[in-house]
A and B are shown apart, each in its own frame.
Chain A
Amino acid sequence: MNQTETTHKLETDSKLVREYQYGFVTDVDTDELPKGLNEDIIRAISQKKNEPVWMTEWRLKSFRRWQTMREPRWAKVTYPEIDYQDIRYYSAPKSASSGAAQADPELLKTFERLGIPLYERDRLAGVAVDAVFDSVSVATTHREMLAEKGIIFCSMSEAIQEHPELVRKYLGSVVPPSDNFFAALNSAVFSDGSFCYIPKGVRCPVELSTYFRINARDTGQFERTLIVAEEDAYVSYIEGCTAPMRDTNQLHAAVVELVALDRAQIKYSTVQNWYAGDEKGHGGIYNFVTKRGHCRGAHSKISWTQVEVGAAITWKYPSVILEGDHSVGEFYSVAFTNNRMQADTGTKMIHIGAHTKSTIISKGISAGESANSYRGLVQILPSAQHARNHTCCDSMLIGDKCSANTYPVIEAETSTAITEHEATTSKISEEQLFYVQSRGIDEESATSLIVNGFCKDVFKELPLEFSVEAIKLLELKLEHSVG
């Protein structure tokens, strides 16, 4: 089937497409490795990417470590056993190359349909984009302008070739391969992702953004992102993701590492809209992701803002290690689940330095028969004198078949620390709905308005244009959850 036919068919299946407009498949020739995972596959991945020996060895070591580990099952999610030998670990469009000028027109069209133009002529103003299609990066925009400032923004594959000294220094320094089962798996098989390096004193003038697209069937996506902000540097980074609608589950196990040196600031925003499966829970992406930032320097700051509206299962805890004195960690999250979706998400704030400060604002909204859990750890070590944390996690239930859970843990090992924790769970209030409806606003729009208000504290943390997108996306997701 060619792409036009595929697209047409999916668009006429109107209800589904209305619910998930990114569910189309692109027909491209691919360069694939056979399914399964062993040392030969890992060597083959490394070879395809023409990697230096140290990288191959790093992967193999990670793989050996992974073999000794067990899949974590403590999260409040249930899913059948994953057969890791039945997954394809490498699939790349044959025509992929790192420049929009040479990229396959089919790929450029795909990203255009996703709202991510890669052509130089109409690329997004104010946003530099790295586009990752299945296992590889297909294009990165705005490179020359960034290069003038000394900013490196390229695919991870390229970084390994062009900037091996930086990659060796920082890769795995925040999330070591042994960190957890999925991090070890990612370290062994990661195929691409983005690399950002902001040198000393540079304020990145545009938003950096990576758009992840899973296309191929039975393929896992294992991207690896590394962002380093040197002293006094600033960067705002945005991540977006979609996948076709398929009736089988696909695994996405990414690792994101952020490093902030003295007074550096990294703002990382995610709008996650992976295919979530159908109403009965068939298909959808397993989103098992390890994201961690390290405030290494004094007065550094790392903010995670996530809007999670997709994926069949989400297992994700963007965290911050607050090592530098006076460093600041923030986590702002909206997690929306519907139908049979399951989300177990939250954060960890590890306070090591003195006067470190963290803020956690989590808004969970469950509809349909979904399960939505917040899981958080605030750990204040004895060295973290005068550390402060403020946590607020609120859950809202729409309908009576869904559930919300909160698992907050606070461990304070110094008496000078101040921690505050607020949590609420509420059913979307009949009184609020009646009030809003009595002003002429229909039930669906009223729900959407109330939910938007509920998420306000998180949306306002997103870069403006993304905030607008996120609000629209949530409205779209809510459309079929009322009634």
Chain B
Amino acid sequence: MSEQTPFFEIRNLHASTEDKPILKGVDLTIQPGETHALMGPNGSGKSTLSNVIMGHPAYEVTAGEILFRGQNILELEPDERARLGLFLAFQYPVAIPGITVAKFLKSAADARFGQGAVKPSDFIKRMRENLAFLEMSEQFLNRFLNDGFSGGEKKRMEILQMLTLKPSLAVMDETDSGLDIDALRIVSKGVNRLVGPEFGLLVITHYERILNYIKPDHLHVLIDGRIAMSGGPELVKEVEKNGYDWIRERFGKEVLV
């Protein structure tokens, strides 16, 4: 990767849903090997950002670009983005009744890596390893995807998919919300398995808790559709201690730390 082409770059992103502007000029750059955290109060546009990155049809991008390895991905379908190596761990994963986890994972892996690129026997072996790593029972493979899953099971399923698809850039949309401490530890363990020099990660969260397990290199605070403040890991403690109001106050003066 050349110096001039950032790995993942969001430039002046404006997006709205049902004609209501949500994102009002987001700029964010992630380099390989970096873990970024994005925090912000309710309604600041965190989930909108993750949906827009993946290409949810309900959101309209009114200005700006999202570049992945120099390519503007905004014109691409969600599946094309995924095949380039983007991944979104959903805040609310939906159920696909009638489709087993095994069938779904195989279809997704075939789409990502090419039909037949993974031998079925190797694939099953890998699934078993990943399941064991995430402390999940093998019976999950025969259950219908997210159908009747508990909140914690759904989130672990997201991480299982992430391990299967080996993305280069992953966005985690409030994966930690609703998880007890054990589940949080397991989910984080799964994510950390992917963290490395070739992998970029954006962790969107409400709470600092998950950042004790997944250590960010950078923290951004999103307020009212814009990144109000960016900083290093030390900013986490400050947000934890003082909340967002002080940033909101200073944001009026366009202060960046």
Contact = CB atoms under 8 A, between A and B. Distances in A.
Interface stretch (A67-75, A314-322, A447-455): A447-455
B257 interface: no
A440 B165 contact: yes
B82 interface: yes
Contact of A443 (B54, B77, B94): B77
Given A445-B107, A449-B107, A437 B96 contact: no
B108 A440 contact: yes
Nearest to B54: A438
A440 B81 CA distance: 7
Contacts of A457: 98
Contacts of B79: 437-443, 446
Interface in B25-77: 54-58, 77
Contacts of B96: 432, 435-436, 449-450, 453
B90 interface: yes
A434 interface: yes
A473 B94 CA distance: 26
Counting chain B residues whose Cβ lies within 8 A of the other chain, the interface size class is 20 to 34
A429 B78 CA distance: 15
Interface residues of A, number: 24
A434 B78 contact: yes
A456 B54 contact: no
Given A430-B57, A453-B99, A435 B90 contact: yes
Nearest to B56: A434
Contacts of A453: 96-99, 144
A429 B57 CA distance: 12
B88 interface: yes
A5 interface: no
A438 B94 contact: no
B128 interface: no
A422 interface: no
A5 to B, nearest CB: 36
B111 interface: yes
A437 B144 CA distance: 17
A439 B165 contact: yes
B185 interface: no
A49 to B, nearest CB: 46
A455 B54 CA distance: 28
A453 B78 CA distance: 21
A420 interface: no
B248 interface: no
Nearest to A429: B94
A440 B162 CA distance: 12
B78 A437 contact: yes
Nearest to B111: A440
Question: Quick one: which of A437, A443, A445, A455 has the most chain B CB within 10 A?
Answer: A437
Contacts of B156: none
B206 interface: no
B58 A454 contact: no
A452 B108 contact: no
Nearest 8 A-B pairs (CB), nearest first? A453-B98, A456-B98, A440-B82, A440-B111, A439-B108, A453-B99, A437-B78, A437-B79
Interface of A: 429-432, 434-443, 445-446, 449-450, 452-457
Interface of B: 54-58, 77-79, 81-83, 87-88, 90, 93-94, 96-99, 104, 107-108, 111-112, 144, 161, 165
7 contacts: A435-B90, A438-B55, A439-B107, A439-B112, A449-B96, A454-B98, A456-B97
